[in-house]
Amino acid sequence: MAQYSIAWMPGDGIGNEVMAAARLVLDAMKFDAEYIPADIGWEFWCKEGNPLPDRTLNVLREVDAALFGAITSKPKEEAQEELAPELKSKGITYASPIVRLRQEFNLAVNLRPCKAYPGNPLNYRDDLDLVVFRENTEDLYAGVEFHPVPEDFAQVVSKHPKWKRFAETPLDDIAITLRINTRKGCDTIIRAGFEYAKEHGYPTVTVVEKPNVLRETSGLMIRTARKVAKEFPGIELWETNIDAMAMWLIKNPQNYGVLVASNLFGDIVSDLCAQLVGGLGFASAANIGDDLGVFEPTHGSAPKYFGQNKCNPMAMLLTTKLMLDWLGEGDEAIRLEAAIAKTIAEGKARTYDMGGTDSTTEVAQEVVRNLG
């Protein structure tokens, strides 16, 4: 019997190709795992009206971890149009399967390392080692939305003095998405950032929010951060507004290490950090809960490139490294990262984004050769 059971979720588009690259490397490492296929993505929305079928949830309840490739996600009207004809009249509404998965399993911590590997021609600077901690289940991604706005909800919010300027607007001309942050959610993500900084020797944790405008939700994040910071006397808490952070990460990115943010701001700032170290072809992520870890690159399904075997597999391979770390296979994680770093530094195999002509598979094979 294999030591680990891993849910295998290629999803859509290039997710299939980068997952194949990951499997090539894992097999070369003789990683002792059973890979259990699990359905997720656009195909299952179109055919079944559910991009995250119950059978997949059942698989995820039984495995040690999950590797996930990518999904295609489209706006409400386009998603409805692509449903199977027999499903269009059933009142089914599309929702992101990865957001639902995060909430279903309370994968509250989204960890996104953004490290500059020497020799990468796409690096903004070669001395960057950023790690973004993104709250993963709340905020504007909680999914509490209204359009049109129900009359009873409008009556509740009409008691707020700021509602006056909307009072004469027809309710079917208003759309509302609630930003919901809880004290527990704030504490979980901030504490995760501080603990990581302590374990890995980062001197600062920067909380990225907007409390001067979003006084209650961002304010709760900042107040919680100040409280948690007192438990980590060797680590300095920095507080930065999201707009200023975008500027400082371009001007002085080397000054930062661990960044912590709520869901939307974390999503935005992690893409900015990824571009500093080569782009989404190097952007890995871990969705971590108490009992399950789901590991994914953040580059999306890139449907226009699907079938060409040309996209950079490094994000997926760095994601695989995160999974090995989480499973307690630290030595194997170090071994894989060293092979990735050597492949990047030598530059013998590079995909098109790095100025090369090698395929997804060829880059993965070069990583295999460098495993030692």
Q: Please give the full DSSP string across 89-126, using - where no structure is assigned.
A: TTT-----HHHHHHHHTT--EEEEEEEPPTT-TTBS-S
For the chain, what is the mean pLDDT?
97
Identity of the amino acid at 65: A
Residue spans of the domains in the chain: they are: 1-107+290-372, 124-141+181-276, 144-177
The per-residue pLDDT for range 136-185, each reduced to its tens digit, is 999 999 999 999 999 999 999 999 999 999 999 999 999 999 999 999 99
Look at residues 322, 279, 300 and name the one whose alpha carbon lies nearest to residue 98. Answer: 300
Are 112 and 121 contacting, i.e. CB atoms less than 8 angstroms apart? no
The pLDDT assigned to 197 comes to 98
The CATH number that domain 124-141+181-276 falls under is 3.40.50.2300
Region of 65 please: left (phi>0), alpha (psi -120 to 50) or beta. beta
Place of tokens 């909307």: 166
* Calpha distance 262→131 (Å, rounded): 14
Enter the tokens of residue 11: 């999803």
Q: Where are the beta strands (DSSP E) in 291-334?
A: 293-297
Q: Report if pTM > 0.85.
A: yes
The per-residue pLDDT for range 62-99, each reduced to its tens digit, is 999 999 999 998 888 899 999 999 999 899 999 999 99
Whether residue 122 is predicted with pLDDT greater than 80 in this model: the reply is yes
Identity of the amino acid at 79: A
At 224, the pLDDT band (50, 70, 90 cuts) reads: very high
What CATH architecture applies to the domain 1-107+290-372? 3-Layer(aba) Sandwich (3.40)
Q: Judging by DSSP bridges, how do beta strands 258-261 and 204-209 pair with one another?
A: parallel
Distances (CA, A) of 326 to 35, 205, 293, 323: 17, 21, 8, 5
The pLDDT assigned to 76 comes to 84
Whether residue 50 is predicted with pLDDT greater than 80 in this model: the reply is yes
